[in-house]
Amino acid sequence: MQGRRRDVGEGATGMRVGFTCSKKVGNAVARNRAKRRLRAAAREIIPRCGCDGWDYVLIGKRDATAERRFDELCSDLEAALRRVHSRGARR
């Protein structure tokens, strides 16, 4: 996962989320499944743990995204958000 705080000039309200899976994840069916799982986790976690004025990109990984239990995927996303925001606070 990656995150970036938007500048004030870019309309710094709200959170934006993007999803990506490369062909390394698998065929189109596998990539779409991974992105659906990432969207579901983001819908559950980002409104609660994300910060206003930030952009997030969730990156699907081979095997890990499609095969991981959903509750573990959500806890991974929460941990990633904490890491991103702890780095962003220092800048």
CATH of 2-82, one of 2.60.40.10, 1.10.1740.10, 2.170.190.11, 3.30.230.10: 3.30.230.10
Q: What band does 88 get if pLDDT is binned at 50, 70 and 90?
A: low
Closest CA to 5 of 54, 52, 51, 47: 54
Whether 22 shows a pLDDT value over 90: the answer reads yes
Which is more confidently placed, 4 or 28?
A: 28
Check if the beta carbon of residue 1 is closer than 8 Å to that of residue 57: yes
Predicted TM-score (pTM) of this structure = 0.82
Cα separation, 71 vs 79, whole angstroms = 12
pLDDT at 82: 92
pLDDT tens figures, 35-80: 999 999 999 999 999 988 889 999 999 888 988 999 999 999 999 9
